[in-house]
């Protein structure tokens, strides 16, 4: 039996973004644009019968080998963010809850609380890989949405 080796773990990401809650939520509700920020993603297909369901594929490095990892995600959109439920190979399941919370005028906290259910031997790999990829996604969301102040210096290159 496999079930005794299944574990559930949780991890979270958070960042402050100088943008309105509405603009953050609108971005989160644009699944295709959000997926394009994933540095591991190699393909995505929206289900023609359910626009909230996507079939995706990531390129991963596992034990030194490059592998394709297909998975499906179904989104439930909320007024303050969204919930994404994913099912991948090897019995990996994740639930990501994204939430935008206004903390002051023009500034929001974007959080992602992730619950992972996986084989105990894969758990640290799954969480580590997710943390790295989702941290990059958060950086890119921040870059896209932050309102630039006219007096703030810009950098190039």
Tens digits of residue pLDDT in 26-81: 999 999 999 999 999 999 999 999 999 999 999 999 999 999 999 999 999 999 99
User: How far apart (Å, rounded) are the C-alpha atoms in residues 51 and 4?
Assistant: 35
115 in any annotated domain: yes
Which pLDDT value is given to residue 45? 97
53 in any annotated domain: no
Strand-pair partners of 73? 54, 86
Which pLDDT value is given to residue 115? 98
Number of H helices, E strands in the chain: 3, 7
49 in any annotated domain: no
Which pLDDT value is given to residue 21? 96
157 in any annotated domain: no
Which pLDDT value is given to residue 144? 94
Question: What burial class does residue 108 get, using C-beta atoms within 10 Å of its C-beta: 0-12 exposed, 13-18 middle, 19+ buried?
Answer: buried
50 in any annotated domain: no
Residue 99 neighbours by CB under 8 Å, 6+ apart:
78, 80, 81, 110, 111, 112, 113
32 in any annotated domain: yes
Domain count, the chain: 1
Domain CATH code at residue 105: 3.30.530.20
Domain extent, residue 94, equals 3-41+73-145
Q: Is the pLDDT of residue 153 over 60?
A: no
121 in any annotated domain: yes
Q: Does this model's pTM top 0.75?
A: yes
Which pLDDT value is given to residue 154? 40
Q: Is the pLDDT of residue 7 over 80?
A: yes
Digit-coded pLDDT (tens) for 87-143:
999 999 999 999 999 999 999 999 999 999 999 999 999 999 999 999 999 999 999
Digit-coded pLDDT (tens) for 65-78:
999 999 999 999 99
């Amino acid at each position: 039996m496999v079930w005794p080796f299944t574990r559930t773990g949780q991890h979270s990401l958070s960042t402050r973004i100088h943008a309105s809650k509405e603009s953050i939520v609108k971005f989160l509700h644009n699944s295709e644009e959000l997926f394009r920020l994933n540095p591991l993603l190699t393909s995505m297909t929206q289900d023609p019968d359910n626009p909230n369901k996507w079939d995706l594929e990531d390129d991963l490095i596992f034990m030194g080998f490059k592998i394709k990892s297909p998975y499906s995600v179904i989104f439930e959109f909320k007024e303050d963010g969204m919930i994404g439920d994913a099912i991948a190979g090897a019995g990996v399941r994740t639930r990501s809850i994204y939430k935008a919370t206004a903390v002051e005028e023009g500034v929001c906290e974007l959080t992602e609380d992730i619950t992972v259910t996986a084989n105990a031997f894969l758990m640290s790999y799954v969480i580590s890989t997710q943390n790295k990829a989702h941290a990059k996604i958060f950086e890119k969301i921040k870059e896209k949405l932050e309102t630039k102040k006219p007096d703030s210096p810009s950098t190039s290159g």
